[in-house]
């Protein structure tokens, strides 16, 4: 029996550099950082006071006011991304066999912002001040369930919370569902809205975030010698993943094949990567094996590139260990939109697909002085035009999560 192939036919996204796939790609090509002083709350007392915020998102552009009111922002971002993704794919939910349509989502923190807000309400006015929507607004699965209800999809539905690898894991789970024949169409991706005082402050207390407050646009600088931590962001990206035969039968435009997925855990530390990168390298090898690719097939790596001291060096070791001395172009795109935690792997999957599709590899924003320990072929100041046939996207997260997606050009 031939294995069912999975292809990507639609992309929807809400990011600090653009809303919608065309705006996202335009933002990538502009190469301008969206990191600015945070204005979502008063950051007094924090070491880091900058973030990559979405400047012009109105949930009511995608749903009515009552429905928006019943969702945390992370669910709003997810539903908006899903609506745009289906539209981009040329699909109408009413024309689909809904039992063969599913949703796989990832989010590190879920509805944390609304939870924080309601805690404040409780301490000020007691239980009667708390919103009755709290329970179903903040739970981890709210995004995937809201997407299912938006479109009437009654197939497989799941939200994972694998820290910063969540979006990539969701896309990988969608690939597995397609291959097993459990669905013909899947919405998959990640959503995150973590810009709330306690959540932001917790990462600040870890001393994991950049304190380049006077130069926010240059704060997120993957693989640069002077990097000093990540910059928190927010956003969502949803892909429409279809069984290839389903997509071709309707004459769909195909961005590329979702060809492989690898997932491992360091089993080492909650916030630091395994220094050898052994398990992250194994995840990359598993993704290539799942895609029936060899390292020689890959021309581009979209790196996790979080701009932290430990991650970037470890990731460079991983890339060298898998690809050896052969130069493989590597860029990290978090210099543009910061680190949107569980949404990052999904946003970067979209960028990887677009890079393959356009033959244009984005430079690593703010990479001016490459770390000498990062002995890899970094795309720095200028983009590269390359006829790449295959690419991988790395996503790593707290708790030792290593998730890798492999893509093949359509």
pLDDT tens readout for residues 73-105: 999 999 999 999 999 999 999 999 999 999 999
Q: What's the length of the chain?
A: 410
Is residue 262 within 8 Å of residue 36, measured between CB atoms? no
Which position among 13, 56, 119, 304 bears the catalytic label?
304
Asked: is 6-256 a CATH 3.40.47.10 domain? The reply is yes
What tens digit of pLDDT does each residue of 213-266 get? 999 999 999 999 999 999 999 999 999 999 999 999 999 999 999 999 999 999
**pLDDT tier at 121, thresholds 50, 70, 90:** very high
Give residue-wise pLDDT tens across range 338-347: 999 999 999 9
**Cβ contact 7:251 at 8 Å:** no
Q: Given a cut of 90, is residue 283 above it in pLDDT?
A: yes
The answer to whether the beta carbons of residues 319 and 376 sit under 8 Å apart is yes
Answer yes or no: 246 catalytic.
no
Q: What is the pLDDT of residue 1?
A: 47
- Residues of the chain within CATH 3.40.47.10 domain(s) are 6-256, 261-409
Which of the four pLDDT bands, split at 50, 70 and 90, describes residue 203? very high
- 69 catalytic? Reply is no
Round to whole Å and give the CA distance between 18 and 24: 5
Dihedral of CA atoms 282, 285, 287, 289 in degrees, nearest 10, equals -130
Q: What pLDDT band is residue 294 in, cutting at 50, 70 and 90?
A: very high
> What is the SS3 assignment for 113?
helix
268 is an active site residue = no
Catalytic residue among 56, 145, 246, 339: 339
pLDDT of residue 18: 98
Per-residue confidence (pLDDT) for residue 304, from 0 to 100: 99
Q: What is the pLDDT of residues 366-390, one digit of tens each?
A: 999 999 999 999 999 899 999 999 9
Give the pLDDT mean for 187-208: 97
Reply yes or no on whether the pLDDT at 166 is more than 80: yes
Q: Per the residue annotation, which of 145, 164, 246, 268 is the catalytic one?
A: 164
**Which of 291, 234, 237 has its CA nearest to residue 104?**
237
Alpha carbons 386 and 381: distance in angstroms, whole number? 16
* For residue 302, pLDDT beyond 90: yes
If you average pLDDT over every residue of the chain, what do you get? Answer: 97
Q: What is the pLDDT of residue 381?
A: 87
CA atoms within 13 A on the CB side of 332: 31
Give the Cα separation of 407 and 54 in Å (integer). 28
Q: Are 388 and 353 in contact (CB under 8 A)?
A: no
Lowest mean pLDDT among 113-122, 158-167, 313-322: 113-122
pTM exceeding the 0.75 threshold for the entire prediction:
yes
Residue 3 is predicted with a pLDDT of 87
* 261-409 maps to CATH 3.40.47.10: yes
């Amino acid at each position: 029996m031939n294995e069912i192939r999975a292809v990507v036919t639609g992309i929807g996204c809400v990011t600090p550099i653009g809303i919608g796939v065309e705006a996202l790609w335009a933002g990538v090509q502009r190469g301008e950082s969206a990191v600015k002083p945070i204005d979502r709350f008063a950051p007094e007392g924090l070491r880091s006071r900058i973030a990559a915020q979405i400047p012009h998102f109105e949930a009511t552009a995608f749903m009515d006011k009552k429905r928006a009111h019943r969702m945390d922002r992370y669910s709003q971002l997810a539903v908006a991304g899903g609506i745009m993704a289906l539209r981009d794919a040329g699909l109408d939910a009413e024309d689909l066999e809904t039992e063969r349509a599913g949703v796989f989502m990832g989010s590190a923190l879920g509805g944390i912002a609304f939870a924080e807000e309601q805690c404040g309400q409780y301490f000020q006015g007691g239980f009667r001040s708390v919103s009755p929507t709290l329970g179903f607004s903040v739970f981890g699965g709210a995004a995937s369930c809201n997407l299912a209800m938006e479109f009437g999809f009654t197939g497989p539905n799941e939200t994972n919370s694998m820290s910063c690898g969540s979006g990539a894991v969701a896309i990988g789970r969608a690939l597995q569902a397609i291959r097993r024949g459990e669905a013909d169409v899947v919405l998959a991706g990640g959503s995150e809205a973590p810009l709330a005082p306690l959540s932001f402050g917790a990462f600040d207390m870890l001393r994991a975030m950049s304190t380049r407050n006077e130069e926010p646009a240059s704060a997120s600088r993957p693989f640069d010698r002077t990097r000093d931590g990540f910059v928190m962001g927010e956003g969502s990206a949803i892909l429409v993943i279809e069984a290839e035969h389903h997509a071709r039968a309707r004459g769909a435009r195909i961005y590329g094949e979702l060809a492989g997925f690898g997932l491992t855990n360091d089993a080492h530390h909650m916030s630091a990567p395994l220094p050898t990168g052994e398990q992250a390298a194994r995840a990359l090898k598993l993704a290539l094996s799942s895609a029936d690719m060899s390292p020689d097939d890959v021309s581009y790596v979209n790196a996790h590139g979080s701009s932290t001291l430990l991650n970037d060096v470890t990731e460079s070791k991983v890339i060298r260990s898998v690809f050896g001395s052969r130069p493989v172009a590597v860029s990290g795109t978090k210099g543009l939109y910061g680190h949107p935690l569980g949404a990052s792997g999904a946003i970067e999957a979209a960028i990887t697909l677009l890079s393959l599709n356009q033959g244009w590899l984005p430079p690593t924003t703010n990479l001016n002085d490459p770390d000498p320990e990062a002995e890899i072929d970094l795309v720095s100041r200028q983009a590269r035009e390359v006829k790449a046939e295959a690419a991988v996207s790395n996503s790593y997260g707290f708790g030792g999560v290593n998730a890798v997606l492999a893509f093949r050009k359509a």
